[in-house]
Structure 1
Amino acid sequence: MVYIGLASPSPSQANSREYQQQVIDAEIKSLEGSIRALKLRRNALTPISSLPTEVITTIFSFLLPVAPSPFTILGERPDHLSWLRVAHVCHHWREIALNQPLFWSHVDFTVLTSAGAAGVLALAKAVPLYLEARVSIGRWDDARFSAFQKELQARVSHICHLAISADHFHLRKTLEELHSPAPTLEYFLLSNDGTIPSRVFVPDTLFDGTTPRLSHLELQKCDISWKSPLLKGLKYLEIHIPSRDARPSLSDWLDALDEMPQLKMLDLHSASPIAPPGALFPSGVERTVTLASLEHLNISGSARDCGLALAHLLLPALTRLYFTTTSFSLDGSDVQEVLPYVARHAHGPQDAQPLQSVFVRNDRRCADMLAWTQPNIDVKSYNLVTFFEAMVFARVAFSVTNEDWAPETHAEIFEAAMTALPIDSLVTLTSQVCTSSPHTQSWLRQAPRWPLLQRVHLATHAARGFTDMVLEDSGVRECPLLPSLTNLVLVDIALSARRTLRLCDALMKRVEQGVPLETLDLRTCFATSRTIELLEEIVVDVLGPEKTVQEWAQIRVIWDSVARDLFVEDDLDSSGPFGEEEDYDEDDPDTGNDHETWDNWNSDGYDEGETDYW
């Protein structure tokens, strides 16, 4: 057997190969240098390279994120380094970027290493700085925190924007070291993100009490004295959930507001003065403060605390009022006591238009109302996301919470709020009230105030009260209720035979009164083709459901099949997607359930022998 192998290179041969590789590498580097030089010369000949550096710098500046706004929506945090893409285009642009300190003024210590933050700050030199930091437990060691503190202390004199979120320990340590004046500071945010219920107090000596340009102050779970020099001359003030001991007395609070004549936005969450037990409204109001520039007021807390604050304010420029309160009275009397002060700030001479759109909704623990000065504002869904989106542009947002209220109390609060608010020019009403208590009398009391109401959106229980109101309306052609109403939208209602025929009776009465409906929108409802035929005989334009009864029946078969596969029989929810119980209960002796109704209602119409309509 013969073995053939490669001989190992001799030391001289290995050295020779290594030398040859070094020569080639050197030649490659030389060629790369030549290529770079040629590229630079070529790029210099492009038309854009003929622009002066100052012009290119100005163009680059449009890529910088705008200064933070007090109305910035959650989740819209800007990326302050996204503009750096232009520095990767060519050598000339990179040199411009590196030599413009303003481009490096935004530093987020959360995403940069200590060395990276130091490098960026070195490029920023002495321009006004926008600094942010979220000090996370477990991610920041002592060395990183110390480096952050040193950078902060060294640059206090030219910080314009400072936002710090940390646990109470690191937040206290940071504030203890900030002794120097902050002559350029305009925006200051402190957030206590610790899980331990320990408070952070903002000392009066912070920044040596010298912040002449500070206009926006936001404190989250931090305490501050309302005599602090930081509170003087502010335009935007937000204080979220301080400790009870840090809540101001009424006199200190009013004195502090007197020192903020340019205040445009005031956001207080459980941070206003505490109403003393037994305080009476309005006899207890001896002093008021006028905030002539305030446009946006967001206040939350107990009903009496919020009422105390509103009772002592005059707000001639207010265009947004967000009132979120907790009731501690089973009958809602504490809320009704302060409603006149909510109404006083809900509309005024500063508003170009009256309140024209209203949305009301409730669940087991909360009752909400929104009002706009624009007509035809539709809120088609009442989940939290769409509710907060709609609230952003509302003139008035009223929300009250009490987990122990009975449905009747919800109804009384809504009627009291509707009565108090100046909504005589109402054009659009959306009601998604989820309670079985009747609203007929409330409709009858409120409807005479709404001669301009044109469009109504109603969910199941609100629709019942509306229908009963129309049937009980004693007005004839000369004075019917809601004379301008032309558009009715029913939302997520199963139009059984009884409901359909009762709705037909109500719509026919509108015809007899000379105020017929022009449009009936049933696109989200559940109805048969016969239902649509009956309604089309009364209303000119009926927008039918997106799915027919037959299509829903097919879906129900699939639902039942899947449910039987997943659950034992005793666990099945008999309501399913179509098992909504009829909202007309034992108060109506002719009431059955919807299961009976649908069994007697086929695709071609209703059983002629059925006399139990509703």
Structure 2
Amino acid sequence: MSALDTMIVPRAALLETLSAVQDTVSHLIGDLTEAEIVDIEGYMGRIGRHLMCSRNVLVPINKLPEEILSYIFHFNQPAYPDFAPSWPSGPRSRSWIEVSYVCKHWRSVAVSLPCLWSLVDLRQKGFDAHKLEAFVRRSKAAPLTVFYENSVSDHPVSRALQDVVARDMDRIRHMHIKGNLRSLVANFSQPAPCLRSLSLWHRGADDALGHADPAPALFNGRAPLLRKITISACALWHAYRITSLTHLALFHVEVRRLDDGFVDMLAGCQQLEMLAIISPRPLPATELEPQQQQQQQQHTSRIIVFPCLRHLHVVGVSHVSPIPWLRLFLAHFDVFEHCEFQLEFHAWSPRSALPLESVLSIFPPASQFRPLKRIDTVQLWTSYRTRPRIAIHSRTLFILAYLNDFPLGRPEEHMLFDPDARAVIINDTQDAFPSLWRTLLSPTARFKTLDVFEENQNTVEPFEALRPGPGAEGVPCPELQTVNWTSGSAREDPIFELMAVANDRARRGSPLRELSIWSNGSGDGRRTVEFDALGAPMGYFNTDSSTQQWIDEAIQGLIDATTAKHPDGSQW
């Protein structure tokens, strides 16, 4: 070691010493050897790094106590829902640990913080067994969240995962796996005392897990905290006995797998709070009718009471003969009024073969499917830009129809209505759909109020849905008393046509009591006509209001109400 390596210059003489060194080097220009130049550059580099460390110490955040830094690092860590999570993607999925590369102080704090290392993402390229061990070691006793996705080329990582599961299964709180589950089924028989949620996305043959009779309990029945499971493309319930769930999501499962074995699993999960079936796979057309007949014969008529079920979602249903299997599926459910139901179909095109039966015929009786016991509002939205769907919650039936193509049926045949029930129709297209409107406002409908919101009112056809037919035909919606009609723009003033409809209804013994019109085309704001008990006009009022705001709010409210979401508010 040279004298320069050990000499300590007094702090007061530091700048004077550096100035002397600078003068000496300047004086020796042309006389220094290459080796001497390299040595001096090395010292200059080390001095620069020491100065950078000194400057970092002066940065305000580096003056924070370690406890505060720990909180900051912790909140920089990404949060993933424990139920049906969106998977970490790209290089940012482990970006929060980059704080350990900033400086020595930050690294010491980060390495000592177990929660930073508790999210183990085995899908990342270059994440080998050595890094896995480092994560597990630094996580100390913190509960682990494991993301794993296997492929043909990552057998070492797969073995590393199995080692972690075998050694640290008692610390794994959330486990999310994508791949061929056949190679991992051995892990499902180990005790998992800390496990709270499990996601299994199978890639491979549909029956890879096989059938077991009797089926062993999942994790040998020793996962007492496991309440949330997500399953994709396999029928896990055929291979393992699953009980005590509060949340269950099924992705890409063949509808024929929703058999009595599935019903058996549901019977063991009567505390279920959320059940979601996303993109169920229909049967091939060649198997459709024979398989449905067989299912109808084999399905038990067992009805299971779900007192805690709050969310029942069926999303991404094919339009290929969905009604029979949906009817069989829902026939097993006895749910209470607080349950929110949502059904969404794939987008229908004009060439789609629409179901021949009413979509509403899928429901069990209202005495069994209690959200149907008291409906006080029906909202129908016709649009170019939506997938067909229905939703029931908050005593409201929401219907989203792609143009006029929706086999609605008559709601009053499938549910019970409040005496003062209200119908809301929203049309944000350039066209009118009188046939769908007439179905909703049939002579057997019992609505007291009708609210209509149209983006553009270009035809009088919608008014015809309220006009009595000739002869002995019944009056549409005979108990209707109030009509509120809002149009963003109109070619002609609709008040004259609506007054003619009101007169026709009065002559047939079904008079209106109030008619209100908002129309930008008229320039008159809101106009209201009141009628007496016989339907004769008795008052006219005119007030200012914004029609476009009413339309926008109505449409946005309907979108929000019918979009299937996780309990945390994120969409499926």
Q: Give me the TM-score of the superposition, normalised by structure 1.
A: 0.61
Matches within 5 A, 1:105-184: 105-115=118-128, 116-136=131-151, 140-166=153-179, 168=180, 171-176=181-186, 179-184=189-194
Counterpart selection for 1:214 from 223, 226, 245? 226
Rounded to whole Å, the distance in 2 between the matches of 1:339 and 1:463 is 35
Residues 452-483 of structure 1, C-alpha deviations (whole Å, 9 max, x = no match): 33x31247899755311344499xxxx98643
Give the secondary-structure state (helix, strand or coil) at the position aligned to 2:371.
coil
Structure 2 Cα separation of the partners of residues 278 and 150 of structure 1: 42
Secondary structure class of the residue paired with 1:356: strand
Q: Match for residue 322 of structure 1?
A: 342
User: How far apart are 1:214 and its partner, in Å?
Assistant: 1.2
What are the equivalent positions in structure 2 for 1:174-253 lying under 5 Å apart? Answer: 174-176=184-186, 179-193=189-203, 198-201=206-209, 204=216, 207-225=219-237, 228-229=240-241, 231-243=242-254, 246-249=257-260, 252-253=261-262
CA distance in structure 2 between the aligned counterparts of 1:75 and 1:37, rounded to whole angstroms = 34
Q: How many Å separate the matches in 1 of 2:49 and 2:186?
A: 52
Q: 1:221 to 1:89 in 2, by over 3 A?
A: same
Determine the structure 1 residue equivalent to 2:452. Answer: 456
Q: Partners in 1 of 2:86 and 2:371 — Cα distance?
A: 25
The Cα offsets for residues 533-576 of structure 1, whole Å up to 9 and x where unpaired, read as: 9999998669799xxxxxxxxxxxxxxxxxxxxxxxxxxxxxxx
Secondary structure of the residue aligned to 1:70 is coil
Q: What per-residue deviation string (whole Å, max 9, x for no partner) do you get for residues 467-517 of structure 1?
A: 11344499xxxx9864333342368x8x4xxxx377732256559966342
- Structure 2 distance, partners of 1:15, 1:164, is 67
Structure 2 residue corresponding to 1:81, chosen from 61, 78, 94: 94
Richer in strand (by share): 2
Q: What amino acid is aligned across from residue 294 of structure 1 in structure 2?
A: L
Distance 1:346 1:79 in 2: 46
Give the match for residue 271 of structure 2.
Answer: 262
Cα distance in 2 for residues equivalent to 1:74 and 1:484: 50
| Contact persistence 2:378–2:424 (CA under 8 A) | yes
User: Aligned AA for 1:467?
Assistant: F
Q: For 1:48-80, what per-residue CA distance to the aligned partner results, in whole angstroms no more than 9, with x for missing partners? A: 7363x3444234333333341537679999955
Distance (whole Å) between structure 1 residues aligned to residue 90 and residue 39 of structure 2? 51
Q: Quick check: 1:60 aligned with 2:60? A: no
RMSD, aligned α-carbons: 5.1
Instruction: Output aligned runs, 1:443-482, within 5 Å.
Output: 444-445=441-442, 449-453=446-450, 455-458=451-454, 465-472=461-468, 482=480
Q: 1:485 aligns with which of 469, 483, 488?
A: 483
Q: Is the 8 A contact 1:355 1:372 kept in 2?
A: no
- Is 1:308 matched with 2:328? yes
Alpha-carbon separation, structure 1, partners of 2:388 and 2:135: 50
Q: 1:303 to 1:60 in 2, by over 3 A?
A: same
Q: Which amino acid aligns with 2:246?
A: K
Which of 8, 32, 35 is the equivalent residue of 1:19?
Answer: 35
TM-score (structure 2 length as normaliser): 0.64
Please give the per-residue CA displacement for 1:323-362, whole angstroms capped at 9, x wherever unaligned: 357999987347564345479636268x9xx653513448
8 A Cα contact 1:236 1:266, kept in partner: yes
Structure 2: give runs of 5+ residues left out of the alignment.
1-28, 283-290, 471-476, 507-511, 530-541, 549-572
Any idea what SS the aligned residue of 1:429 has?
A: strand
Aligned pairs for 1:510-525 (under 5 A) are 515-520=514-519
Amino acid at match of 2:269: M
Aligned residue runs from structure 1 range 9-48, under 5 A: 17-32=33-48, 34-36=50-52, 38-39=54-55, 42=58
Tell me the secondary structure at the aligned position of residue 442 of structure 2.
helix
**Cα 1:370–1:181, aligned 2, differ >3 Å: closer, same or farther?**
closer
Residue pairs, 1:516-535, within 5 angstroms: 516-520=515-519
After the TM superposition, which of the residue ranges 424-433 and 109-118 deviates more from structure 2?
424-433
- Are the equivalent residues in 2 in contact too, given 1:451–1:481 (CA < 8 A)? yes
Task: Report the alpha carbon displacement of residue 174 of structure 1 after superposing the two structures with TM.
Answer: 2.8
CA positional deviation for 1:209: 4.7
Q: Which amino acid aligns with 2:266?
A: L
Q: 2:191·2:223 contact (CA, 8 Å) conserved in 1?
A: yes
Q: How far does residue 296 in structure 1 lie from its aligned partner after superposition?
A: 0.8
Letter in 2 for 1:64: Q
- CA-CA distance at 1:321 after TM superposition: 0.7
- In the TM superposition, what whole-angstrom CA distance separates every residue of 1:270-323 from its partner, at most 9, and x where no partner exists? 599x8655959xxx9864221111111124773233223322322126432123
* Paired residues for 1:278-317 under 5 Å: 287-299=302-314, 302-316=322-336
| Partners of 2:187 and 2:377 in 1: CA distance | 53
